[in-house]
Structure 1
Amino acid sequence: MTEGDTARLVAWSDELRRVHDRLREALRVTRRALDDGEPAEPAARELLLFCHGFCTALARHHEGEDRELFPAVAAAHPELRDTLRSLQQDHSMIAHLLGGLQAAVDRAAPPAELGRHLEGVAAIMESHFRHEERRLLAVLDGLPLAVDPHDVLGPL
Structure 2
Amino acid sequence: MERERGQERLAAFGTELIAIHDHLRQELATVRQSLQDGHHDGPGQVHSLAAHCLAFCSALDQHHSGEDSSAFPALRQEFSDLAPVITKLEEDRALVASILQRLNQLLGELPTDPDAQDTVRVTGELDGPAAIIESHFTFEERTIVTALDALDRPDLTARSLFGISPDCR
Instruction: Indicate whether the TM-score tops 0.5.
Output: yes
Equivalent-residue separation in structure 1 for 2:72 and 2:107 (angstroms): 31
* Residue in 2 that maps onto 1:120: 128
User: Are 1:33 and 1:46, in contact at CA under 8 Å, matched by a contact in 2?
Assistant: no
Q: Residues 49-86 of structure 1: CA distance to partner in whole angstroms, max 9, x if unpaired?
A: 11011111111111111111011101111111011000
User: Are 2:70 and 2:161, in contact at CA under 8 Å, matched by a contact in 1?
Assistant: yes
* Residue in 2 that maps onto 1:16: 17
* Residue in 2 that maps onto 1:153: 162
Equivalent-residue separation in structure 2 for 1:88 and 1:97 (angstroms): 14
Equivalent-residue separation in structure 1 for 2:161 and 2:121 (angstroms): 32
Equivalent-residue separation in structure 1 for 2:36 and 2:163 (angstroms): 27
SS at match of 2:139: helix
User: Are 1:33 and 1:50, in contact at CA under 8 Å, matched by a contact in 2?
Assistant: no
Which residue of 76, 81, 84 maps to 2:83?
81
CA RMSD in angstroms comes to: 1.4
- What's the TM-score, normalizing by structure 1? 0.94
Identity percentage of aligned residues = 32
Q: Residues 89-120 of structure 1: CA distance to partner in whole angstroms, max 9, x if unpaired?
A: 01111110110011111111621221122111
* Residue in 1 that maps onto 2:145: 137
Shift of 1:149: 1.7
- 1:102 matches 2:140: no
Q: Residues 120-139 of structure 1: CA distance to partner in whole angstroms, max 9, x if unpaired?
A: 11111011111111111111
Equivalent-residue separation in structure 2 for 1:154 and 1:28 (angstroms): 21
Name structure 2 gaps, 5 residues minimum: 112-117
Aligned length: 156
Equivalent-residue separation in structure 2 for 1:124 and 1:138 (angstroms): 22
